[in-house]
Structure 1
Amino acid sequence: MNHLNTVLSVLVITVLIIGCDSEHSTGKQRVRPAAPVEVAAVEVGSIREMRVFSGALEASASFPISPKVSGLIKEIGVDIGDLVQQGEVIATLDDAEYQQALAQAQADLLVARANLMQSESHLTISQRAMQRSRVLRERGVASEAEYDIVQSEQLAAEAQLEVQRAQVQRAESAVETARIQLGYTKVQALWSGDPSPRSVAERYADEGQTLNALSPLIRIVDIDPLTGVFFVSEKDYPQLSVGQVVDIETDAYPNEIFQATIERIAPVFQESSRQARIEITVPNHDTRLKPGMFVRAQVVVKEVAQAQIVPDMALVTRSDSTGIFLLSEDGQTARWRPVQLGVREGDRVQVIGEDILGQVIVLGQQLVEDGSPVSLASFPTE
């Protein structure tokens, strides 16, 4: 009997102990410890969405200078890198043949003028003979046949005079042509538009060479301004417009930005790449930028003046919903706020939603739910 009482006493004590432990354990589950988090302020300000395109610089104008006549090159006055003025003589051809052609044309002109004077004199004589024949016919001394002969001679003299006048005009034209041909032996740099100096990009011939007419001698480029060219896909095409500002970067000048503007947008996409050509105008007054340089063109495609901005690391996806956790005003709990994403700039992103103010949790979000207790902590950075 005493033994039975002892066993019952042990069972009761065990049940009480288990019940106390269970109750204590249940209490621990209900009280969740504060999760350590790190926060950042929700910004309100301007944010821009950028697109970066790779491209290259081209000369805004590029054309060859060629002689208009054939000849031996006697002298070339410019070389690669030199500046050339509008109308400047850049080369001289051997002009002996063209000088001789001019002298021959001038001599032919003198002969034509002499023949003209002779024809004028012959016409004067014919006119006098015509007057005498008319008087004699009226007196009955000369016959009609004699009068007709004199009249035909006058008409022939008039025709001959017209021929000689035409010969003089042709000889004068030949002289002018020979003079122009002679002038072409001095090769000039001529172009339309802006008369400001341009640069020699290439030289194709040397002194002593014989050059055919219209064969390129040098190539001239205009590098102020330059033209930048890049290509965009269908996705980015609607976001670009003529006049948009473009920031240019190149490896030749790291950490330096050059300003440009969109000048032309191709109305068609290339069939091979499904991309459209974009041309920008790049001022280059100091001529530091050169055609052929590769560049990165940054274009602001969208800008919001007053946006709510958070670090992109604050974004959380829960149950297919994107949102953020805000720190409560007392700094004790986390508050879930679903958001829509807007403009993104680097590691900053615009969020659109209601009651987004204060501080946002950027580290430790995986430990919390809506209403979870939190404590501010500093996380080590790698």
Structure 2
Amino acid sequence: MLKKAMVWVVLVAVGGGLGWLVYRRLTAPKSAAGARRPGGAVPVELEPVGRATLRNVERLTGTLRARAEFVVAPKIPGRLEKLLVNVGDPVKPGQLLALLDAAEHEEAVAQAKAELAVAQANAEQVRLGATLEDEELAQKAAQAKAEWAVAQANADQVRLGAALEDAELVQKLAQAQAELGSARANLEDARAALTVAQREFERAQALREKKILSQAEYDTADAQFKAARAKQEAAGALVAQKEAAVRSAQVRLSDTQKGAREAELRHATALAQQKEAAYKTALVRLSETQKGARAAELALARAQVANKEAALKAAVVRLAYTQIKAPAGGDGQGAQVVGERFVDEGAMLKANDAIVSVLDISALKALVYVAERDYAKVRVGQDVAVTTDGVPGRTFAGEVVRVAPMLRESSRQALVEIEVPNPERLLRPGMFIRAEIELERHADATAVPRDAIVKRNGQQGVFVAEGAPEPKAAFVPITPGIEDKGLVEVLNPPKALAGAAVVTLGHHLLEDGSAILLPEGKDDLTQREQRQQRKGKEAAVPPKSQIGNRKSEMK
């Protein structure tokens, strides 16, 4: 109890002393200022309103992860005979990493080869027995086919002899038909000539009755008409004669085709059909033999061969599984390294037991979380500056490659994945990193110091010094924008800020229209504004990855 009382006494004494010092600090300037500011003017400090390039930079923290990470494990159980890599060793695609005891699997491959040889020999024996029987049936089928060919040739010969005789009769018939056509053409010519002669005769007869035509001319027309009629009658008789000749040739041809030669042709054709039927019967017997029990036996032997081939392939694959290799991937130039080692040589492993882990560090993934208010401003392709305590003094360039399509309900944050190239292999998975993502950049923006912004009547604004020789403070409402390293952007800046100076110290005592006292006087203020403007004009615009101090950004 006594100790507690002593502690409380000491604490009260210390608190009283600190309060007294604060009181003295607050009251001393007021008395001094009272001596300098007649009429209750408030001493203040000013800084000019300037223009600067401001950035809205989101600063995030996160962790580096390997671009790809996988665990090397066996596909079959066995004893780990040899481990060829260790932690930190580079790994190339397809590199042999470990060996399992392969004696059992080598024996399985040899046994599978022997069983395949037996199955192949059995299938060959069945095939040879089937071949001998097939050859006998095939010989009978070939003999039947030859007899069919002979009968077919005989039938063709008989048909050819008949065709030759028929050709002669057909030729005579064609000649008779040609002569008939010529006679009919002459008949048509005679009819045309008779028509012309008849018209001439009738015209001569009419002229004779009118005593215009002489008797001699009339007799000539009459004679020509009678001659044309006689010629037509002769042509008609010739046509009838030729038609009779055509009919006679047709009858002779028909009678020849229906005679004994037709019976001989039918006999030859029937014999050819008989031989054809015998040949088809031999083929059916051969086909049925091949499709019978012997065919089933041959199919079984072939299936056994296929089964043994599959068993051999499986044994070879399982033997290959005893050689554990790195999968394809990475850049093939040491980008993959062994991250962890989980077992030692001689260990008995089950299938999928981890042996080592392999990391691809040619590029790393930085995983950070962005808040809900800035989620919409983060986009794929944005540049990112990454730093880490593990590599002090270095800034690594990265790029946003993925933005999660959802936010975590518990934290209202979304995962952002940044890819960071790692050509020098300085970065390592698991490092803590800081990432800066530039969300916005406003060039040549109107900016005021953060210390100049105050709130009056629920509205943000700044106090502007105006009037001379007795300056006063005028409250100018503003809409703040981007804030960057002590400067705040003024959106839609009012005209009152153009070329003005704002109060940065002492504004807590000011109201709109309050009198102010400048430590150096108005002339000194004007000179200070000019100095600030000259410094702003000489200052360079900061690069995209940096922000200068307030004076270097002021114009």
User: Is the Cα contact below 8 Å between 2:368 and 2:415 reproduced in 1?
Assistant: yes
Say if 1:280 and 1:136 are closer, same or farther in 2 by CA, change over 3 A.
Answer: closer
Q: Partner residue of 1:54?
A: 61
Say if 1:278 and 1:157 are closer, same or farther in 2 by CA, change over 3 A.
Answer: same
Q: Partner residue of 1:161?
A: 298
- Residue 372 in 1 paired to residue 515 in 2? yes
The CA distance in 2 between the partners of 1:220 and 1:274, in whole Å, is: 34
Of 69-78 and 311-320, deviating more is 311-320
User: Is the Cα contact below 8 Å between 1:34 and 1:375 reproduced in 2?
Assistant: no
- 1:140-196 Cα distance to aligned partner (Å, 9 max, x none): xxxxxxx98x97598333332222222222222222222222111110110457655
3-state SS of 1:372 partner = strand
After TM superposition, give the deviation of residue 78 of structure 1 in Å: 0.8
Say if 1:355 and 1:136 are closer, same or farther in 2 by CA, change over 3 A.
Answer: closer
After TM superposition, give the deviation of residue 54 of structure 1 in Å: 2.5
Q: Partner residue of 2:505?
A: 363
Say if 1:263 and 1:329 are closer, same or farther in 2 by CA, change over 3 A.
Answer: farther
- 1:276-308 Cα distance to aligned partner (Å, 9 max, x none): 222221222222222222222222222211211
The aligned amino acid for 1:170 is N
Q: Which runs of 5+ in 2 are unaligned?
A: 1-34, 145-283, 525-555
Say if 1:130 and 1:35 are closer, same or farther in 2 by CA, change over 3 A.
Answer: same
The CA distance in 2 between the partners of 1:222 and 1:211, in whole Å, is: 25
After TM superposition, give the deviation of residue 41 of structure 1 in Å: 3.3
Say if 1:319 and 1:153 are closer, same or farther in 2 by CA, change over 3 A.
Answer: closer
Of 98-107 and 288-297, deviating more is 288-297
3-state SS of 2:351 partner = coil
Say if 1:154 and 1:123 are closer, same or farther in 2 by CA, change over 3 A.
Answer: farther
- Residue 115 in 1 paired to residue 122 in 2? yes
The CA distance in 1 between the partners of 2:126 and 2:339, in whole Å, is: 58
User: Is the Cα contact below 8 Å between 2:93 and 2:329 reproduced in 1?
Assistant: no
The CA distance in 2 between the partners of 1:136 and 1:83, in whole Å, is: 76
Say if 1:210 and 1:375 are closer, same or farther in 2 by CA, change over 3 A.
Answer: same
3-state SS of 1:176 partner = helix
Q: Partner residue of 1:244?
A: 382
3-state SS of 1:160 partner = helix
Say if 1:180 and 1:313 are closer, same or farther in 2 by CA, change over 3 A.
Answer: same
- Residue 79 in 1 paired to residue 86 in 2? yes
Q: Within 5 Å, give how 1:223-372 maps onto structure 2.
A: 223-328=361-466, 333-336=471-474, 337-351=476-490, 352-356=493-497, 357-366=499-508, 370=513, 372=515
Identity rate of aligned residues, in percent? 34
The CA distance in 2 between the partners of 1:258 and 1:135, in whole Å, is: 87
The aligned amino acid for 2:515 is S
The CA distance in 1 between the partners of 2:117 and 2:301, in whole Å, is: 12
> Which of 103, 107, 123 is matched with 2:110 structurally?
103
Q: Partner residue of 1:141?
A: none
User: Is the Cα contact below 8 Å between 2:62 and 2:433 reproduced in 1?
Assistant: yes
The CA distance in 1 between the partners of 2:403 and 2:116, in whole Å, is: 58
Q: Partner residue of 1:183?
A: 320
The CA distance in 2 between the partners of 1:66 and 1:175, in whole Å, is: 24
Count of matched residue pairs: 343
Q: Which runs of 5+ in 1 are unaligned?
A: 1-27, 138-146
The CA distance in 2 between the partners of 1:242 and 1:153, in whole Å, is: 70
User: Is the Cα contact below 8 Å between 1:79 and 1:203 reproduced in 2?
Assistant: yes
After TM superposition, give the deviation of residue 229 of structure 1 in Å: 1.5
3-state SS of 1:167 partner = helix
- 1:297-335 Cα distance to aligned partner (Å, 9 max, x none): 222222211211121112233343332233459796245
The aligned amino acid for 2:55 is R
- 1:181-233 Cα distance to aligned partner (Å, 9 max, x none): 21111101104576553111111111111212222211112223211222233
The CA distance in 2 between the partners of 1:302 and 1:267, in whole Å, is: 21
The aligned amino acid for 1:126 is E
The aligned amino acid for 1:315 is I
Q: Partner residue of 2:538?
A: none
User: Is the Cα contact below 8 Å between 1:126 and 1:154 reproduced in 2?
Assistant: no
User: Is the Cα contact below 8 Å between 1:266 and 1:277 reproduced in 2?
Assistant: yes
After TM superposition, give the deviation of residue 129 of structure 1 in Å: 4.8
Structure 1 consecutive aligned stretches of length 4 or more whose deviation exceeds 6 Å:
132-137, 329-332
Larger helix proportion of the pair: 2
The CA distance in 1 between the partners of 2:450 and 2:288, in whole Å, is: 109
The CA distance in 1 between the partners of 2:55 and 2:439, in whole Å, is: 8
Report the TM-score when normalising by structure 2.
0.55
The CA distance in 1 between the partners of 2:337 and 2:406, in whole Å, is: 33
The CA distance in 1 between the partners of 2:92 and 2:291, in whole Å, is: 59
When the two chains are superposed, the root-mean-square deviation of aligned CA atoms in Å is 3.3
3-state SS of 1:355 partner = helix
The CA distance in 2 between the partners of 1:229 and 1:135, in whole Å, is: 82
Report the TM-score when normalising by structure 1.
0.78
User: Is the Cα contact below 8 Å between 1:340 and 1:353 reproduced in 2?
Assistant: no
After TM superposition, give the deviation of residue 271 of structure 1 in Å: 3.0
The CA distance in 2 between the partners of 1:136 and 1:191, in whole Å, is: 65
> Which of 305, 311, 317 is matched with 1:174 structurally?
311
The CA distance in 1 between the partners of 2:343 and 2:83, in whole Å, is: 9
Larger strand proportion of the pair: 1
After TM superposition, give the deviation of residue 114 of structure 1 in Å: 1.1
